[in-house]
A and B are shown apart, each in its own frame.
Chain A
């Protein structure tokens, strides 16, 4: 099991955002998390690499319990790539600088090796020719593809996507989804919080529907989209499709 989540609770002050999440995600699985805003889906994702502190419960990544305060979270995070809604590229570095920073500083590989590897990652996202430009010179879609290449440069076992296409102009969504689809086909374990139902349907192995801090329903994309069992799932899907 790649990811095990056991009775995960998350509170912000008195507000309980996650009210007991249990889930297992296996190797090479692509899990799409959908749900209305405020349902806790992004918080759930951010608990998987401990960008949010875990209030109670356990999150076990590839056998390592990250809810244990003694776990070296930095080490675990090198195996968990994350892609953000707002890209969060480093604006003071070139594309290559963005991609090689963590491999050089954290994995301790040489600059030359990091750059060779970086070019391979840029090939993967179709942006080899943009290695020397700064992020501000790129479109949103290109920036997000660089962000994916940056996460991949650490050679992670799992990729987490937090609404990766929500900040993009509609015509740029496709290029990012195409990169993610290739990644899924290569066998990457992926957890994707998304509003792209087409992507969830086509690429997802499993879809989780969350609402008000709990997993309401989960199933294969076909079942969830064509035959949702829960009322709340039905109501949500009827609104967005």
Chain B
């Protein structure tokens, strides 16, 4: 008597093109979101090292709020909450993919902000003094001396954050973004091959995160010429 589960991998293989469209969207949301997130993080991280109380205050509040709330709540808040307001006041809505990109950007921005701040503050004060004593302005000293050294120290924690953000995009299945997890769910509900499909979904995530690790390792080695 046949009681065991018969796995049919051909179902997952047939679903692969559909899953790959999801993976493509996952990559787009991650890359665009992280690019904006790095920009936000660099600006707010710098602001936190500034002696200007207003700049550092605003940045601190931003980091605390974003770090203190779950990204799923942030995405729901944007897509359903903010959209409700927008529809009433301006008559338009943010699309789900756009909401996902914004959520990744502001969420990763807060963590990258801390990475940037920590890396800049870890550079020895003597480096700045050496630059200033040669007559360079504080701006030039920062651009040519502090930032390149800080950037190198940022790479390992940044790689960590990129991987976390990529995986966070799976939560956008909740706001019906057709990314990889959502496409996986849809395939499963059509085929009931949960084990096979989710195995493929997990492997696709693994491919993407390992690619990030690999790229960052190469970048790190390139920068570590001395």
Which A residues are within 8 Å of any B CB, using their own CB?
Answer: 49, 51, 74-78, 80-82, 84, 86, 88-92, 101-102, 105-106, 134-137, 147, 150-151, 154
Contacts and interface: CB of A to CB of B under 8 A. Distances in A.
A74 B113 CA distance: 30
Contact of A78 (B124, B126, B135, B226): B135
Contacts of A81: 133
B127 A150 contact: no
A106 B126 contact: no
Interface of B: 124, 126-127, 129-137, 140, 144-145, 148-149, 152, 225-226
Contacts of B152: 92
Given A74-B135, A90-B145, A106 B140 contact: yes
Contact of A82 (B133, B149, B225, B226): B133
A77 B226 contact: no
B151 to A, nearest CB: 9
A114 to B, nearest CB: 13
A74 B126 CA distance: 17
Nearest to B130: A88
Given A90-B127, A91-B149, A106-B140, A75 B135 contact: yes
Contacts of B124: 86, 88
Given A106-B140, A134-B226, A88 B127 contact: yes
B50 to A, nearest CB: 18
Given A82-B129, A101-B144, 19 more contacts: A51-B129, A51-B132, A74-B132, A74-B135, A74-B137, A77-B133, A77-B135, A82-B133, A84-B133, A86-B124, A89-B130, A90-B145, A92-B152, A101-B145, A102-B134, A102-B136, A105-B140, A134-B225, A151-B134
